[in-house]
Amino acid sequence: MSSNDKSVIFNLESVLVEIEKEEKKFPIGNVYCVGRNYEKHAIEMGNDTKEEPFFFSKFPQSVTNKTEIFIPEDTNNFQHEVELVVFIGRNCSNIEPNQAKEYIFGYSVGIDLTKRDLQKIAKDKSRPWTLSKGFEYSAPISKIKRNENFSINNGEISLIKNGVISQKGNICEMTWSVDEIISKLSKNFKLFPGDLIFTGTPSGVGRIEQGDRIEAIIENVGILELTFL
C-alpha cells in the first residue's frame, strides 16, 4: 500500500500484515524489541542478570507473514527466538502501567531471527546490533489476534524445531510485563497506531539450518509455522 498524497515528491510503500478473520490489514510502523527480558535466557547468553532489560529496534521491512524464510548467506550461526508480539492501536505517550491495556490492539506469535555470529562481533566491539537483528524478514509473525484493551501476562510460550521442543516458558516469567514495557516505551517515545513490540524470548534459543521446520506457539494467541530454505 502507498499513500497517494500529491504534496510529497514520492509515496512510501507500507508493510502490511494480516489480522485474523479480517480482510483489512495492519500497517507496520516502528518495531521495538526488548532484550534480556527472561532471566533464564540472559543466563544462557552469559549476561549479568542484575542488569535490567533494554530496548532495541528492527525496521518495518523485517516484519512479514511469510511462512518460508531463506537463511541469509552472510551468517554461519542463524538462530531463533520465539516472542510474544504486542501491537499498538492508539497514540500513546507518558502513561503508567495500569493504563497500558487501553492502547493495545492485539497480539501475535513472533520470532526474532538473529545472526548470532554477527551479533557477537557487534557486542565485542560495543557496536549496535542492526546488522544482526534488523535485516529483511528477520521478524516473521503469525496473523494478529485482535484483543483490544487486554493485557496478556500469563500463558505458555514454546518453540518446536523438527518435532523437538527447543524453547518453553511462560509469559509470567518476563522481567518486564506487557504493561510495564508499554509504559516504559511511552515515557521515551510517543507510540503510534501501527507500532509493535517484541517482548523478549525464553531460554533455549538455537541454531537454524536449511530444511528446518519450526512451530512457535503462544497460549491463547496463536501458532506460527515456518520452513527455512
Contact by Cβ (8 Å): 182, 62:
no
Structural domain contains residue 20: yes
Task: Give me the number of domains the chain comprises.
Answer: 1
Integer Cα distance of 150 and 228 in angstroms: 33
Structural domain contains residue 56: yes
Integer Cα distance of 95 and 172 in angstroms: 21
Nearest to 111 by CA among 68, 63, 162, 155: 63
Specify the 3-state DSSP secondary structure of 12: coil
Structural domain contains residue 2: no
Q: What is the pTM of this model?
A: 0.95
At residue 50, the pLDDT reads 75
Q: Would you place residue 196 in the very low, low, confident or very high pLDDT band (cuts 50, 70, 90)?
A: very high
Structural domain contains residue 23: yes
Alpha-carbon torsion 56, 182, 61, 74, what sign?
Answer: positive
Integer Cα distance of 115 and 183 in angstroms: 29
pLDDT tens-place string over residues 146-176: 999 999 999 999 999 999 999 999 999 999 9
Q: Which residues of 105-114 are buried (b: 16+ CB within 10 A; e: fewer)?
A: bbbbbbbbbb
Least confidently predicted of 44-53, 89-98, 137-146, 202-211:
44-53
Integer Cα distance of 59 and 54 in angstroms: 17
Q: Any idea what the CATH number is for the domain that residue 49 is in?
A: 3.90.850.10
Q: Would you place residue 1 in the very low, low, confident or very high pLDDT band (cuts 50, 70, 90)?
A: very low
Structural domain contains residue 6: no
Strand (E) or helix (H) holding 39: helix 39-44
Structural domain contains residue 11: no
Structural domain contains residue 9: no
Contact by Cβ (8 Å): 38, 174:
yes
Q: Average pLDDT of the chain?
A: 95
Q: Which residues of 215-229 are buried (b: 16+ CB within 10 A; e: fewer)?
A: bbbbeebbebebebe
Q: Which domain holds residue 73?
A: 16-228
Average pLDDT over residues 10-21: 93
167: cell is 524453547
